[in-house]
Amino acid sequence: MITLSRALRAIALSLTALFIVTTPVRAQDVRSNATIFVGNFAQQGINDILAAPIASVEKQQRFRTVFKKYFDLPGIGRFVLARYWRAASPEEQARFTTLFEDVVVYTWSRRFSEYNGQTLQVSGTQTDGPEGTLVKSTIIGNNNSHFGVDWRLRKRPEGFKVLDIVVEGVSMAITYRQDYATVISQTGSFAGLLDRMDSQVADLKRQQGT
């Protein structure tokens, strides 16, 4: 069974993997557009982050920009927090979104140095609810190792956004949802989760010297 650490590593590698389309593309097809969206995401990771001759701090900053562009942060927040999101004030929701963004950026960017020519191969798409598309892909390593990565997309007014990534059956969103529910249970409040996340971000910054 894949561990959370490996799942996060795979997600980070997904960002910087070389994109290879293996399904026919029709310009007006919604699912083909979803495939192109995932491809653009991966390719921008190569051009702007992995292959760019820049310092790690700059790569981290660029990843933040890419992450905010391609991921549905409010949608992820609503799913991850469930009833706690609905009960939270607008200020608490905004603070969570900012902290969650920081957690992902500082956690995932630590994995960029592990990229070693892996490729991201899209194998197909399928409808995922009334406004969703699931893009199925495989990350292939140089030693012929491979694992499945599914991209759960939602159509928003500005275009597709990533709502979840599923690596070998492990959902990023569900994993965070379970982890955060545990923290809320331990601390007794949503505010306790925010404080815990704030400490986590501070630790990550200190570890990375930022």
Contact of 29 with 63, CB cutoff 8 Å: no
Separation CA 15–CA 132 (nearest Å): 20
Which has more confidence, 208 or 89? 89
Q: For the whole model, what pTM was predicted?
A: 0.81
Q: Please compute Rg for the chain using Cα positions.
A: 17
Q: Lowest-pLDDT range, 13-22, 23-32, 77-86, 106-115? A: 13-22
Separation CA 77–CA 163 (nearest Å): 10
DSSP string spanning 149-170? Answer: EEEEEEEETTEEEEEEEEETTE
Picking from 21, 72, 73, the residue whose alpha carbon sits closest to that of residue 42 is 21
Q: Residue 3 corresponds to which tokens in the numbers above?
A: 């561990």
Residue 38 main-chain phi, psi, to 5 deg: -65, -40
Give the residues across from 8 on adjacent strands.
none
> What pLDDT does residue 6 have?
54
> What pLDDT does residue 25 have?
43
> What pLDDT does residue 27 have?
40
Write out pLDDT tens, residues 182-210: 999 999 999 999 999 999 999 999 988 77
**Topology annotation, domain 4-204:** Nuclear Transport Factor 2; Chain: A, (3.10.450)
123 pLDDT band, cuts 50/70/90, is confident
State what percent of residues in the chain have pLDDT above 90: 39
Q: Residue 153 corresponds to which tokens in the numbers above?
A: 């997309």
Q: Residue 74 corresponds to which tokens in the numbers above?
A: 């409010």
Where along the chain do its domains lie?
4-204
Write out pLDDT tens, residues 25-42: 444 455 678 888 888 887
- Average pLDDT (88-116) is 88
> What pLDDT does residue 167 have?
87
Q: What is the mean pLDDT of the chain?
A: 82
- Average pLDDT (139-163) is 86
**Burial 153-177, CB ≥16 within 10 A → b, else e:** bbeeeeebbbbbbbbeebbbbebbb
> What pLDDT does residue 53 have?
80
SS3 assignment for 56-113: HHHHHHHHHHHHHHHECHHHHHHHHHCHHHHHCCHHHHHHHHHHHHHHHHHHHHHHHH
> What pLDDT does residue 120 have?
75
